[in-house]
């Protein structure tokens, strides 16, 4: 069932992103008087198609990993004299720039609309209150204390842990001090804390922005009750079910969920004797955690089960909601922040501050899409918006084959007054294809390594 949900979720996500992207190209091309021959979502043999009154074929193809808008172009096939004024190559350089740029801009617009809808509908989050502060950690040395609520990071106000993580990840590679402001309660003024860091989060896989600073978010006590059990994993094989409460592991009483997690992580491949409460009865089960290897080569136990959700106290809940006009400004700001974060991550990956193993391909996208769809509409829309921004940024990179490569050629043409030579474009095409193929293979490799 989980696999089916993942597949359906990724089809919906990629279908929306590709359709918006290609519609951007299509819409501006039509406004510029270019004849569009085909609008295809997906590659390969069409599963469905129809031709409109303008002679454009709209198609849905078998391979949902991209799409394209095929325009009339004398460089690709002979064009009748009466249609030459509708050929893409006959348009001015600025019209061609507008047509090519419209795809990524449509993805940015989709992200803004998605964030706007979330801000208008309102989102509920939890206050970023510090739970524990690790001894001798950067947070401890700065004086930050348990129970304080963080209200700003590096001078930017924050209202949730997501906001905090976003701004901390943007500081990857920093050395010196990170500035946090926190207060004891809503009535107090915030006080600044300076956390000493050195090469912050450099080459961490995956980055752990809060744990590296020694900060553990506050959360209510979680009883050791299973909320979900993944089919085929160790917990399911042992006979555990959603709703089971773990009472004892190897004769050791389990008070809360973290007790159980700690015992599991410390016992990869070992047999754990469990006492479990289910429907008023007590069961004895044997659980053998699977094994997962961390980056440092340390193996930890894994059983494929999640904790049952609990209600957060009202004083820790925060509702973020804006009017339609204010929400538009917030949506544009969030899109801008995520765009800068993505660009910064690409730059830091190129210079070695971020491990390339953080690259994600179609398998990880499918997993995250499925997980966010199961979590709720709010998480799914947020993921859709972020993926739309990532697609736009990726397409604007100055790599031949991508929209950014074509834009680079057209801007050079605008400056020089004549097009880039066919020979140069052909060479760039080969280089671009090699770069994209390498990137896709790396992403797929790291996807498979995450599965293993």
Series of mean pLDDT values for 10-residue runs along the chain (452 residues): 68 88 96 95 89 92 86 90 92 96 97 95 88 93 92 90 88 90 83 92 81 90 89 91 93 90 90 93 93 69 87 84 94 93 86 76 70 75 92 92 93 92 89 88 79 64
Whether residues 231 and 153 share a domain: the answer is: no
Whether residues 235 and 340 share a domain: the answer is: no
Rounded to two decimals, what is the model's pTM? 0.79
275 has catalytic annotation:
no
pLDDT tens digits, one per residue of 165-181: 888 988 888 899 999 99
Relative orientation angle of helices 93-121 and 324-350, to the nearest 10 degrees? 120
pLDDT tens digits, one per residue of 64-122: 778 899 999 998 889 998 999 999 999 999 999 999 999 999 999 999 999 999 999 98
Point out the catalytic residue in the list 22, 57, 177, 198.
Answer: 22
In a domain, 74, yes or no: no
In a domain, 371, yes or no: yes
Whether residues 433 and 341 share a domain: the answer is: yes
Whether residues 366 and 444 share a domain: the answer is: yes
Whether residues 440 and 393 share a domain: the answer is: yes
In a domain, 303, yes or no: yes
In a domain, 33, yes or no: no
The last residue of one of the domains, among 169, 194, 217, is 217
Whether residues 434 and 363 share a domain: the answer is: yes
The domain in which residue 353 lies consists of 92-122+322-452
In a domain, 382, yes or no: yes
Name the residue among 363, 364, 238, 247 with its Cα closest to residue 305. Answer: 238
Total tally of structural domains belonging to the chain: 3
Whether residues 452 and 327 share a domain: the answer is: yes
pLDDT score recorded for residue 292: 76
The last residue of one of the domains, among 217, 250, 273, is 217
| CATH number of the domain residue 303 falls in | 2.30.42.10
């Amino acid at each position: 069932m989980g696999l089916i949900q993942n597949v359906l979720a990724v089809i919906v996500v990629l279908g929306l992103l590709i359709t918006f992207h290609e519609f951007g190209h299509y819409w501006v091309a039509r406004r510029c008087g270019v004849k569009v021959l085909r609008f295809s979502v997906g590659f390969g043999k069409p599963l469905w198609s129809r031709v409109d009154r303008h002679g454009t074929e709209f198609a849905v193809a078998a391979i949902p990993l991209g799409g394209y808008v095929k325009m009339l172009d004398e460089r690709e096939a002979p064009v009748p004299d009466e249609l030459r004024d509708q050929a893409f190559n006959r348009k001015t350089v600025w019209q061609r720039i507008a047509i090519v740029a419209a795809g990524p801009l449509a993805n940015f617009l989709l992200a803004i609309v998605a964030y706007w809808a979330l801000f208008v509908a309102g989102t509920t989050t939890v206050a970023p209150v510090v739970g524990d502060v690790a001894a001798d950690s950067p947070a401890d040395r700065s004086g930050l204390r348990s129970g304080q609520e963080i209200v700003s990071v590096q001078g930017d106000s924050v209202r949730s842990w997501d906001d905090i993580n976003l701004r901390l990840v943007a500081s990857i590679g920093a050395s010196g001090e990170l500035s946090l402001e926190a207060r004891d309660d809503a009535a107090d003024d915030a006080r600044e804390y300076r956390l000493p860091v050195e090469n912050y989060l450099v080459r961490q896989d995956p980055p752990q922005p809060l744990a590296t600073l020694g900060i553990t978010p506050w959360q209510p006590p979680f009883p050791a009750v299973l909320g979900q059990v993944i089919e085929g994993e160790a917990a399911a094989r042992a006979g555990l079910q959603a709703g089971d409460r773990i009472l004892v592991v190897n004769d050791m009483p389990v008070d809360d969920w973290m007790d159980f997690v700690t015992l599991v992580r410390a016992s990869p491949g070992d047999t754990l004797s469990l006492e479990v409460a289910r429907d008023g009865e007590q069961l004895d089960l044997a659980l053998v955690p699977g094994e997962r290897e961390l980056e440092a080569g340390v193996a930890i136990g894994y059983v494929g089960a999640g904790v049952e959700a609990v209600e957060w106290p009202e004083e820790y809940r925060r509702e973020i909601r804006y009017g339609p006009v204010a929400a538009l400004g917030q949506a544009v700001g969030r899109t801008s922040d995520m765009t800068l974060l993505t660009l910064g991550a690409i730059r830091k990956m190129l210079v070695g501050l971020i491990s390339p193993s953080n690259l994600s391909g179609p398998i990880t996208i499918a997993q995250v899409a499925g997980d966010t769809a199961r979590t709720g509409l709010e998480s799914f829309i947020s993921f859709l918006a972020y993926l739309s921004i990532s697609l736009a940024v990726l397409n604007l990179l100055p790599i031949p084959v991508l929209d950014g490569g074509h834009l680079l050629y057209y801007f050079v043409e605008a400056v020089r007054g004549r097009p880039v030579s066919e020979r140069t474009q052909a060479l760039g095409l080969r280089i671009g294809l090699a770069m994209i193929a390498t990137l896709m293979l790396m992403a797929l490799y790291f996807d498979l390594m995450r599965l293993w």
